[in-house]
Amino acid sequence: MKLVSIVGARPEFVQVAVLSRALRARHRETLVHTGQHYDAGMSGRFFAELEIEPAEIDLNVGSLPASVQTAEIVRRFSGALAQLDADAVIVRGDTNSTLGAAIVAKQHLLPLVHIEAGMRSYDRTAPEEINRLAVDHISDLCLTTDAAAAQRLRAEGVADEAIAVCGDVMYDLFLQVLPGAAAGLPPALAALTERPFVLLTLHRGENVDDRARLASILAGFESAPVPVVFPVHPRTAARLREFGIALPPGFVACEPLGYADMVALESRARTVFTDSGGVQREAYFAGVPCVTLRDATEWTNTIDAGWNRLAGASTGEIRRALLDPPAAPAARPALFGDGDAAQRIVTALESAKMSELVAFYRGVRAARRSA
């Protein structure tokens, strides 16, 4: 099969690392990078570190207001896709790159596969929730990380035959990288991990673009009893500068980290504080309690399992979690598969249903061309 995979933002590079290898063992994959993330530390480093083949096509959209960025992805990907003899398009997650590419795939009459489908935070003010909803409902094949996501899709009217539960490719990668992760930590960070510390990541627009919310979150970490390691997303760095907000004492701020360094810190932290979807899951993979700095999360399974709690932007909740750290529950059920999600995705792509879809859309495209 000739597959076109779209990536554009940091979590997509992490996800494609394992999947591309599995796909390319049996199929032809063309990787398209939208250019939504472009700094070396947000993009190129992951290709090098995780040995991802460079993208054949870079759409170079860069940073733009959300609608304009999505429109540029649509415009440029449409031109690129017209040159590719694709059988299907694969998108993942909930970014503007996901949405833009998904629209183009359907306008080009190609089967669309959505990885990490069926996640819902039920917060329609979050752009990611809109992207998830839209992409799930135009996808031909929805691949979910767990059975609950599949059930959500069915409840929304998605046909059972269009859904497959595959697990989470981020878990596959985490398991592969964890054993050697600490070896490459820069000495200053390695020394820090000898004593208790917490890890913080923050980049959601709802938190960092709102001065009061950002200040309220950071105030929670004033007088933190342990160091707060804080790899700073470029969006957050820009807002901190713009708002003139200084980080509290006790912060160990750094540039965005590589993936293995993140895994090493996540697995050694006393508590992970984050508004990231990926980092919430990785804290669970690592068996480290997580405090999510959002009012709602789509990863409710980690909350139900007792490993994650919502603190919103509450200074008091954050302070409480620092002074009285959440304890690790006794059980950590396999919510994200067994580390073989990439293989299960390949199997779903090789299903009779997928062959039918490829043949059907090929027929429709041919009929339209000859009409």
Name the site residues for ligand UDP (rule: CB under 6 A). Answer: 10-11, 14, 201, 203, 231, 256-257, 259, 262, 276-279, 282
Which tokens in the block code for residue 354? 């997928």
The option from ligand UDP, ligand UD1, none interacting with 121 (CB < 5 to 8 A, set by class) reads none
Amino acid at 308: N
CA pair distance 120, 282, nearest whole angstrom: 18
Dmax over Cα atoms in the chain, in whole Å? Answer: 71
Q: Is residue 203 flagged as an active site residue? A: yes
The option from ligand UDP, ligand UD1, none interacting with 279 (CB < 5 to 8 A, set by class) reads ligand UDP
H helix or E strand, kind and range, residue 236: helix 234-243
Query: Quick one: 36 or 139, whose CB is closer to ligand UD1?
Result: 36
The option from ligand UDP, ligand UD1, none interacting with 259 (CB < 5 to 8 A, set by class) reads ligand UDP
Query: Quick one: 9 or 214, whose CB is closer to ligand UD1?
Result: 9
Number of C-alpha atoms within 13 angstroms, CB side, residue 311? 29
**Which of 70, 11, 7, 43 is CA-nearest to residue 299?**
11
DSSP of 19-78, one letter per residue?
HHHHHHTTSEEEEEE--SS-STTTTHHHHHHTTPPPPSEE----S--HHHHHHHHHHHHH
Residue pair 265/273 in contact (Cβ under 8 Å)? The answer is: no
The option from ligand UD1, ligand UDP, none interacting with 14 (CB < 5 to 8 A, set by class) reads ligand UDP
The option from ligand UD1, ligand UDP, none interacting with 282 (CB < 5 to 8 A, set by class) reads ligand UDP
Q: How far is the CB of 256 from ligand UD1 (least distance, A)?
A: 9
CA pair distance 221, 134, nearest whole angstrom: 36
CA pair distance 282, 288, nearest whole angstrom: 9
Q: Which residues bind ligand UD1 (CB under 6 A)?
A: 9-11, 36-39, 42, 63, 94-96, 127-128, 203, 234-235, 238
Q: How far is the CB of 271 from ligand UDP (least distance, A)?
A: 16
CA pair distance 323, 343, nearest whole angstrom: 42
Query: Quick one: 20 or 36, whose CB is closer to ligand UD1?
Result: 36
Query: Quick one: 9 or 170, whose CB is closer to ligand UD1?
Result: 9
CA pair distance 166, 150, nearest whole angstrom: 10
Query: Quick one: 262 or 293, whose CB is closer to ligand UDP?
Result: 262
CA pair distance 100, 11, nearest whole angstrom: 16
Q: How many residues does the chain have?
A: 371
Q: How far is the CB of 282 from ligand UDP (least distance, A)?
A: 5
Q: How far is the CB of 95 from ligand UD1 (least distance, A)?
A: 3
The option from ligand UD1, ligand UDP, none interacting with 63 (CB < 5 to 8 A, set by class) reads ligand UD1
How crowded is residue 354: how many other Cβ atoms within 10 Å of its Cβ? 20
Which tokens in the block code for residue 89? 């398009």
Q: How far is the CB of 139 from ligand UD1 (least distance, A)?
A: 17
Q: How far is the CB of 12 from ligand UDP (least distance, A)?
A: 8
Query: Quick one: 207 or 343, whose CB is closer to ligand UD1?
Result: 207
CA pair distance 273, 46, nearest whole angstrom: 23
Q: How far is the CB of 209 from ligand UD1 (least distance, A)?
A: 9
Tell me which of 33, 114, 203, 233 is the catalytic residue. 203
The option from ligand UDP, ligand UD1, none interacting with 38 (CB < 5 to 8 A, set by class) reads ligand UD1
Query: Quick one: 97 or 276, whose CB is closer to ligand UDP?
Result: 276
Query: With b meaning 16 or more CB within 10 Å and e meaning fewer, what string describes 215-228?
Result: ebbbbbbeebebbb
Which residues are identified as catalytic? Answer: 203
